[in-house]
């Protein structure tokens, strides 16, 4: 899956012209209740044109329910969803959206190519569009094989190919790398990045936080049905802190308290983390050496998205970011 296989068709049948807005998806107080349980609770979510939006949350947090409401597959109990300036589930919004939700579903005895042709003809698309999406996901050589013979990873690729039929403006992918080997995962990430570069907007639901950190522009984190944070990845990660390893540790702690304040450091195993910017390294080293600390290492320690994710999903207060 490389840029050499990029789809070059424009305005395919069924494609609705863009409204020109910079907001592709907008939800307002979006809520879905099942009896007394709120699966999704007053979610305000915004997805901007041309970005890769990572949608994160623990199992049962409300991710798939939210995506289904965005796609118009289920109705909200209250609140609103607009896709490309139109009501979710409307003919116009649906014609400009492609999706892979909770795994692909195809006729097992038809080939991958035949399955896609069936979908394409139903939507008034040509067989050429099928060949283009097969090339885009790297399945041209296996397109003639029966779907039942596909590995889980190949089934995921075919599901993504189905989502790309018609060159939709918005693409919603629920765990698209599920079942792929490391090489396949890298290819899928490259495809998603290429889609955004070529003007598509992608909502990517994933439990692989490293994957989201690597390719997403912004993320929304949902927990217990509530959107607890929506921000750029860089804002979520925040500034790097200094990580110091030295002996004796109690002297490192004392110096950390002097330089960063009582609440500006924490002990992490055999290291001490200081809430100080990297340009303070020379100052910290001088202070450590002056107190006869044997410094093993010192340098910036960036937080990972996994660190932030677990912090946020244990919090209960919704926050909005940049």
What pLDDT, on the 0 to 100 scale, is given for residue 59? 80
| Same domain flag for 10 and 42 | yes
Sheet holding 241-247, edge to edge: 265-268, 271-274, 241-247, 294-301
Say if 11 falls within a structural domain.
yes
pLDDT score of 130 more than 60: yes
- pLDDT tens readout for residues 266-320: 888 888 988 888 888 899 999 999 999 999 999 877 666 777 777 766 654 444 4
Say if 322 falls within a structural domain.
no
Which of 236, 254, 287 lies at the terminal end of a domain, its last residue?
A: 236
Say if 119 falls within a structural domain.
yes
Which of 193, 210, 236 lies at the terminal end of a domain, its last residue?
A: 236
> Among candidates 195, 169, 219, 211, which has minimal Cα distance to 53?
219
- pLDDT tens readout for residues 209-260: 777 888 999 999 898 999 988 988 877 776 667 889 999 999 999 999 999 8
Say if 313 falls within a structural domain.
no
| Same domain flag for 127 and 24 | yes
| Same domain flag for 262 and 229 | no
Measured from the Cβ of residue 264, the count of other Cβ atoms closer than 10 Å reads 14
Which of 221, 236, 251 lies at the terminal end of a domain, its last residue?
A: 236
- pLDDT above 70 as % of the chain: 88
CA distance 15 to 110: 27
pLDDT score of 17 more than 60: no
| Same domain flag for 109 and 248 | no
Say if 155 falls within a structural domain.
yes
77 or 208: whose pLDDT is higher?
77
Report, as an integer, the average pLDDT of 114-125: 94
Say if 161 falls within a structural domain.
yes
Q: What is the CATH number of the domain that holds 277?
A: 3.30.70.980
| Same domain flag for 8 and 133 | yes
Say if 67 falls within a structural domain.
yes
| Same domain flag for 219 and 289 | no
Say if 153 falls within a structural domain.
yes
| Same domain flag for 209 and 251 | no
| Same domain flag for 169 and 58 | yes
| Same domain flag for 141 and 159 | yes
| Same domain flag for 160 and 79 | yes
Binning pLDDT at 50, 70 and 90, where does residue 198 land?
confident
| Same domain flag for 22 and 121 | yes
pLDDT score of 167 more than 80: yes
**How many structural domains does the chain have?**
2
Domain that holds residue 278: 239-302
* HEC letters along the chain: CCHHHCCCCCCCCCCCCCCCCCEEEEEEEEEEEECCEEEEEEEEEEEECCCEEEEECCCCCCHHHHHHHHCCCCCCCEEEEEECCEECCCHHHHHCEEEECCCCCCCCCCEHHHHHHHHHHHCCCCHHHHHHHHHHCCCCCCCCCEHHHCCHHHHHHHHHHHHHCCCCCEEEEECCCCCCCHHHHHHHHHHHHHHHHCCCEEEEECCCHHHHHHHCCEEEEEECCEEEEEEEHHHHHCCCEEEEEEECHHHHHHHHHHHHCCCCEEEECCEEEECCCHHHHHHHHHHHHHCCCEEEEEEEECCCHHHHHHHHCCCCCCCCCC
Prediction pTM value: 0.75
**Strands 78-83, 226-232: parallel, antiparallel or unpaired by DSSP?**
unpaired
Q: What is the CATH number of the domain that holds 116?
A: 3.40.50.300
| Same domain flag for 84 and 228 | yes
């Amino acid at each position: 899956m490389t840029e050499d296989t990029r789809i070059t068709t424009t305005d395919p049948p069924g494609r609705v012209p863009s409204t020109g807005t910079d907001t592709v998806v907008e939800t307002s107080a979006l809520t879905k209740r099942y009896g007394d349980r709120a699966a999704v609770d007053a979610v305000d979510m915004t997805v901007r044109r041309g970005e890769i939006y990572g949608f994160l949350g623990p199992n049962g947090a409300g991710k798939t329910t939210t995506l289904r409401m965005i796609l118009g597959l289920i109705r909200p109990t209250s609140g609103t969803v607009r896709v490309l300036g139109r009501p979710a589930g409307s003919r116009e919004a649906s014609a400009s959206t492609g999706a892979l939700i909770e795994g692909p579903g195809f006729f097992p005895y038809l080939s991958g190519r035949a399955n896609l042709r069936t979908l394409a003809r139903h939507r008034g698309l040509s067989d050429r569009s099928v060949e283009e999406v097969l090339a885009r996901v790297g399945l041209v050589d296996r397109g003639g094989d029966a779907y039942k013979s596909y590995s889980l990873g190949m089934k995921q690729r075919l599901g993504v190919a189905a989502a790309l039929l018609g060159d939709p403006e918005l693409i919603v992918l629920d765990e698209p790398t599920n079942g792929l080997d490391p090489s396949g995962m890298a290819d899928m990430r490259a495809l998603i990045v290429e889609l955004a570069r070529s003007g598509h907007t992608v909502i990517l639901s994933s439990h692989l936080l490293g994957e989201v950190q690597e390719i997403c522009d912004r993320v929304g984190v949902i927990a217990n049905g509530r959107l607890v944070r929506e921000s750029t990845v860089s804002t979520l990660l925040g500034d790097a802190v200094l990580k110091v390893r030295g002996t004796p540790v109690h002297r490192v702690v004392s110096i950390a308290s002097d330089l960063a304040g009582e609440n500006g450091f924490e002990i992490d195993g055999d290291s001490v983390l200081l809430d100080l910017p990297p340009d303070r390294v020379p100052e910290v080293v001088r202070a450590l050496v002056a107190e006869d600390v044997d410094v093993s290492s010192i340098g910036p320690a960036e937080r990972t998205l996994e660190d932030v994710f677990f912090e946020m999903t244990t919090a209960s207060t919704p926050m909005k970011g940049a």
